[in-house]
Amino acid sequence: MLKVLVACANGAGSSLMIKMKVEKVLKELNVPVAKMHHCSLSEGKSAATQFDVVFCPLNFASMFDRAKENGTTIIGLRNILSEAEIKEKFLESGVKDK
């Protein structure tokens, strides 16, 4: 079961919207989720290593380089509300097959 983190600048509105889109996509793909959390970038940066995958706006993806080095998959989104992009990047990441 997958542990998913969604992070945005303030951890309020946009991270919640991304979380809802990610939940919908993962449900469509029949991906079991053990835990899903949305938060601010600062909280996410320190917590990211506890998750299997992190979704965030593309321009903030480099903030999670330490987590990436520790095996967390980081998915930066150009359009945070695009279910098609979320699905495409998630499938490309290979995290579903781990």
Catalytic residues: 8
Q: 10: which DSSP letter?
A: S
Three-state DSSP class for 79?
Answer: coil
Three-state DSSP class for 96?
Answer: helix
Reading the block at residue 61, the tokens are 């993806």
Neighbours of 7 (CB within 10 A): 31
Nearby residues of 14 by Cβ (< 8 Å), 6 or more positions away:
8, 57, 80
